[in-house]
Structure 1
Amino acid sequence: MYSCQASDICVNMFMVELKSKSAIALGFTFTEVNSVRASTAKVVCCHFSSDGKLLASGGHDKKAVLWYAESLKPKSTLEEHTNLITDVRFSSSMSRLATSSFDKSVRVWDADNPGYSLRNFMGHSASVMSLDFHPNKDDLICSCDGDGEIRYWSITNGSCARVFKGGNTQLRFQPRHGRYLAAAAENVISIVDVETQAFQHRLQGHTKPIHSVCWDPSGEFLASVSEDSVRVWSLGLGSEGDCVHELSCNGNKFYSCAFHPTYPSLLSMELWNMTENKTMTISAHDGLIAALAVSSISGLVASASHDKIVKLWK
């Protein structure tokens, strides 16, 4: 029996049937290529720009930092939030970055000229926990707060376009076409039709609150992470939101996961209890790894930790 600590990245070469079992090479390696002390406090979120050139991080020091991804040299620091930052996301189609915060606001920045925020969206009555840009609709950004309220914002108009209930932990638009929004609340993931706001699926099975969700690049599979388990759901054409894989741990705690950028049937995560031979554990951080980000362009994986460090892996 192998086990992971909160400071380890653990890669389990189990098959989620995204492409084919041959997608996992026997010689797979995963090593640290760079690191930086990113903050004076806990780092809790990170994300790559769509071209892979920038990495954003944020956390308890109320600042978001833009890094040149390959070198981890700082580009700029964004300092307008008045409380800790909970999420950072780049637009997939424009040079924009968005940040959410315990100060109940969402800010949108020009990643090329981030001296000040372009928009400051106010309206949430509780701490904003997560946000995301729609992959195709340049004007649409979505956020959720600790009370379960989801808001759609129009960047052009600077206004709230829609309000409904459904997520209080993390939300992510389906990549590429963006038909669905996955929103986690307690131990349930709601799959919402972006156009009609109809709740297409309620994915149930976790026994503990869900920390994070992530889509695979095709948008056909969704992984959800709670303290004691990870589930992979099929949301392809004609699917009813079936759980196709469940990974449980005894005594350890899951927090987040990411589909590997170049091995589509490899799910990598920290906090793993491994029982199979095809596994690899990497001592990564001195504190809990709060977030992972991947770049399909560069093939890099970033880890952000409570030890105030951001690392790059490949």
Structure 2
Amino acid sequence: MPRLATSSFDKTVRVWDADNPGYSLRTFTGHSASVMSLDFHPTKDDLICSCDGDGEIRYWSINNGSCARVFKGGTAQMRFQPRLGRFLAAASENKVTIFDVETQACRHSFQGHSKQVDSVCWDPSGEYLASVSEDSVRVWSLGSGSDAECVHELSCRGTSSILVCSIQPVQGCLSSVAISLWSFGTCKRTTP
């Protein structure tokens, strides 16, 4: 079923029928602050997740129209691990926390940014996560088991601010909105 979702400063999450965008399938209320981010689970068609400015994360059941779980951990952006959806990455202040989706237990806490983390994105395999602050991008490897580490730091001090990034599966490059491309293997800036 083609769906899209919106989050709002009015503290709601809405799920829409993409074929009929004038029709809202569900409106979810319960957040105490503006909803900053949301994401659909990659394998559970019924599950959507949202976080608000107070750090509250909520799992919503689209079919039931109800809140399935509430816990703390993300204020800026959160994303489900692609394909499997086993983990949820949530940005809050200058760190990123990786939660187990089933138990909400913290699996990893990535710290190292000097400024607030504004954006996170997974690579398509779900083995790497990029976190973005105003002046840097850090690429984290989840590794196997409990091992996790920063494998690349891309500093942009003295240049334009970074707002978002994406990990491209074909080129293997990290791209920022400043149209800078970074070679994932050599960690060097290239011309777009």
User: Are residues 277 and 257 of structure 1, via their aligned partners in 2, closer, same or farther at CA, if it must alter by over 3 Å?
Assistant: closer
Q: Structure 1 residue 278: deviation in Å?
A: 5.4
> In the alignment, what sits opposite 2:6?
99
1:30-75 CA-partner distances (Å, limit 9, x unpaired) = xxxxxxxxxxxxxxxxxxxxxxxxxxxxxxxxxxxxxxxxxxxxxx
Alpha carbons 1:250, 1:273 under 8 Å: kept: no
Greater relative contact order, per chain length (Cα 8 Å cut-off, separation 6+): 1
Aligned 8 A contact 1:248 1:273 in 2: no
State the 4+ residue runs in structure 1 displaced beyond 6 angstroms.
none
1:256 is matched with: 164
**The one of 22, 29, 46 aligned to 1:115:** 22
Equivalences for 1:1-314 in 2 at 5 Å? 94-238=1-145, 240-252=147-159, 253-263=161-171, 265-271=172-178, 272=180, 279-281=190-192
Shift, 1:114, TM fit: 2.1
**Paired positions, count:** 186
Letter in 2 for 1:164: F
* SS of corresponding position for 2:191: strand
Provide, for residues 135-179 of structure 1, a one-character-per-residue CA deviation record: whole Å limited to 9, x for no partner.
Answer: 011111000000110001011110111111000000000000000
1:254 alignment partner AA: I
The 3 A distance-change label for structure 1 pair 277 and 244 is closer
Residue identity over aligned pairs, in percent, reads 72
DSSP 3-state at the match of 2:124: coil
Alpha-carbon RMSD: 1.7
- CA drift at 1:219: 0.5
Contact 2:174 2:181 in 1 (8 A): no
2: distance between equivalents of 1:245 and 1:277? 10
CA spacing shift, 1:160–1:221, aligned 2, 3 Å: same
The one-letter code sitting in structure 2 at the alignment partner of 1:182 is: A
Aligned partner letter, 2:162: F
CA distance in 1, matches of 2:108, 2:163: 23
Is 2:181–2:189's contact at 8 Å kept on the other side of the alignment? no
Q: What displacement does 1:277 show?
A: 7.1
User: In 1, distance between residues paired with 2:188 and 2:62?
Assistant: 48
Distance 1:195 1:251, change over 3 A: same
Q: What is the TM-score with the length of structure 1 in the denominator?
A: 0.57
CA pair 223-159 structure 1, distance change in 2 beyond 3 A: same
Question: How far apart are the structure 2 equivalents of 1:251 and 1:278?
Answer: 15
User: In the aligned structure 1, how far is the partner of 2:101 from the partner of 2:189?
Assistant: 38
Per-residue CA deviations over 1:270-309 (Å, capped at 9, x if unaligned) read: 23598x875115xxxxxxxxxxxxxxxxxxxxxxxxxxxx
8 A contact 1:135–1:176 mirrored in 2: yes
Structure 1: unaligned runs, 5 residues or longer: 1-93, 282-314
Looking at structure 2, the residues matched to 186 and 211 of structure 1 have their Cα atoms a distance apart, in angstroms, of 8
Question: Given that residues 107 and 146 in structure 2 are in contact (C-alpha distance below 8 angstroms), is that contact kept between their aligned partners in structure 1?
Answer: no
1:206-242 Cα distance to aligned partner (Å, 9 max, x none): 0100110000000000000001110000013235221
Partner of 1:64: none
Q: TM-score, normalised by structure 2?
A: 0.91
1:25 — aligned with what? none
Flag the 1:249–1:109 CA change in 2: closer, same or farther, 3 A: same
